[in-house]
Amino acid sequence: MKIRLSIFSSALLAAACLFLCAVASAQSASGQSAPSKEPALVPGLDERFLDTSADPCVNFFQYSCGNFPKYYPIPNDRSSFGAGTLLVEHNQYVLHELLEQAAAGGADRTPNQQKTGDYYGACMDTAAIEHKGLQPFQPDLDRIAALKSKSELTSLLAHYQLTNVNAFFGVGEQQDFHDASKQIAAADQAGLGLPERDYYFRTGEAPEKTRQQYVQHITNTMKLLGDSDQDATKDAHNIMQLETALAKVSMDITSRREPKNVYHMMPLAELDKLNPALDWTELLSESDFPSVTEINVTNPDFFKGMNAVLDSTDLATIKAYLRWQLIASAENTVLPKAFDDEMFDFNGRKLRGQPEQQARWKRCVQATDRALGEALGQVYVEKEFPPSSKAATLQMVRDIESAMDQDLERLDWMSAETKARAKAKLHAVADKIGYPDRWRDYSLLIVKRDDAYGNAERGVVFENKRQIEKIGKPVDRGEWGMTPPTVNAYYNPSMNDINFPAGILQSPFYDPKASDATNYGDIGGVVGHELTHGFDDEGRQFDGNGNLSDWWTAEDAKKFEEKADCTVKEYDSFVAIDDVHVNGKLTLGENTADNGGLRLAFIAFLADAKKKNVDLHQKQNGYTTIQQFFLGHSQGWCGSTRPEQLRLQVQTDPHSPREFRVNGVVQNMPEFGEAFGCKVGQPMRPQKICRVW
């Protein structure tokens, strides 16, 4: 698991994306060849995927998507595969073509083409990476070996912060929750190698097996670093003991969803008292922070506990842990093959059930997008995102915002006072479509064709310093948290903006050839989803300026919590795999956004249909206009997931599995039951429904 210094400014963003916002890379080199032709996109509504033997009133996901796996089974290089993945594959192909052209060289390359082409070319040069072996890591390995006392840790960990090594903790910047116009310093918990703190403590056969596999994974890595079998085994168990101690004082993933739980401003001197094992003034200075006198310590108990862990752990174990974290935190594409394969074996094969590693070209496309996303994205937008797509999306966004305005007015449980404040926040939402108005400047980033490791390290240091430099400066509200080719979308509560990268504004989510009903059900639901995030259990705590501010009356807040509790219990009842249920509390924000978002899209769709004099009951290809709306929504989630990935998702991801992002929503909309003739009491039309928005 990797931690970026910028993680704090997007801590809530990670729980306000359409899909999982970030997944640690877990692939390795495999086939080098790209597909001979561009992967085809599927339409917004594809009748091939329908399983008409299923009853839509019993399981609408099966009815609308049951045949998808027959046409698109999960490839061996994926842990899941769906309609959205087809678009990801398409975008990767487009980026690959652009990068191959840039990598071919030529005097006419722009500075950005030089950087993206050489970054990609160096990543693809596996012979050079293999020839260098661990040489690029040796200065850090030597520095760890030379540690003579724990007092020397401050300087080393400061260096690790700049290079994204996930040891012990993370420091970075964020918008101040109480004054969103300010950028402040923050310190957060980190240092774990398993996906989430509860992986260290869950009981049962499956969790215990994962822990055993993890210890063996560390053992194998330490052997590759040169340890004897005996030393590697000893180090692995000691590292596991250290990480377990860190996990004990870490906040669990569900508690971290509550904004007040991760906001504790304190003088820097107080952090020194809380965690005297490190010199925090020196650490921040060596991490290139500007002079700061106070800092948000997201979890004070963690830093107090981490101090105890440092005091009680012998230096030899700490040094072994630092070596492990150095390798485990590295961009996998720059690792020698033996290390890369080992990382994939645990993170990909064992944790996610992925049989094979992704092709090298895919991984290098992804790595280049992470490091130089706006340089690459600028060219991508010119090729793939016409002005007509931006205009159509913007119009739909405005229609759905208008629908929310109307819906707020009609709410019977909210007072006029809170409604007025909710509308003020709604009207302040900034709409970002496609790409930023001002492109990022990469002129100071050095990229060399023969230095894959150096490129990756310079890339993360460049980005981390860019983030650090924001501290004490005015907030740039035009900045994006995703690159233009990304197939995703997000809401940022501190910015109070909704963001739709160009990458997602294509079929099947937005299909220019599909009916309006289909597009409103699909991309309209996406727009409504992100807009609703501004009013989910987290987003509702921020005002229109992005400040953590209680703008609710006590009575309205109580009513909201009662409605939200209904959704929590509803999703708690869904069984994801074996005996593992969906975590209704962890997924509350996303479930609220799924449900509220589709309802907003439906309201906007009806208004649009009325304006165009559309007959809602007229059938096209056997389905009424309203049925097309719900089918369009559902087919955006078509796909399947490997059991291992499903278990990982339910335990770490604030998004529900795809089946429940369909069935869990339509069963709360009586309009769906009416459209498909469902009887009250059937699974998709229960007597009791949950509705927050």
Q: Which are the catalytic amino acids? A: 530, 594
> Helix, strand or coil for residue 639?
strand
In sequence order, which ranges of 429-553 are alpha helices (DSSP H)? 452-468, 516-533
Strand-pair category, 430-434 with 497-501 = parallel
Question: Sign of the CA dihedral 401, 384, 661, 13?
Answer: negative
> Helix, strand or coil for residue 548?
strand
Q: How far apart are CA 86 and CA 400, in angstroms?
A: 26
In sequence order, which ranges of 345-386 are alpha helices (DSSP H)? 351-352, 360-371, 373-384
Say if residues 435 and 381 touch (Cβ distance below 8 Å). Answer: yes
DSSP code per residue over 203-266: -SHHHHHHHHHHHHHHHHHHHHTT--HHHHHHHHHHHHHHHHHHHHTSPPTTGGGSGGGG--EE
Q: How far apart are CA 177 and CA 12, in angstroms?
A: 11
Say if residues 217 and 327 touch (Cβ distance below 8 Å). Answer: no
Residue 287's closest CA among 41, 468, 104?
A: 468
225, two tokens: 């670093």
Measured in whole angstroms, how far is the alpha carbon of residue 413 from the centre of its chain?
33
Say if residues 171 and 289 touch (Cβ distance below 8 Å). Answer: yes
Query: Nearest 5°: phi and psi at 549?
Result: -150, 130
Q: How far apart are CA 501 and CA 610, in angstroms?
A: 29
405, two tokens: 């305005």
Measured from the Cβ of residue 247, the count of other Cβ atoms closer than 10 Å reads 21
Say if residues 490 and 21 touch (Cβ distance below 8 Å). Answer: yes
Residue 436's closest CA among 385, 470, 506, 511?
A: 385
Strand-pair category, 179-189 with 169-176 = antiparallel
Measured from the Cβ of residue 142, the count of other Cβ atoms closer than 10 Å reads 9
Say if residues 189 and 299 touch (Cβ distance below 8 Å). Answer: yes
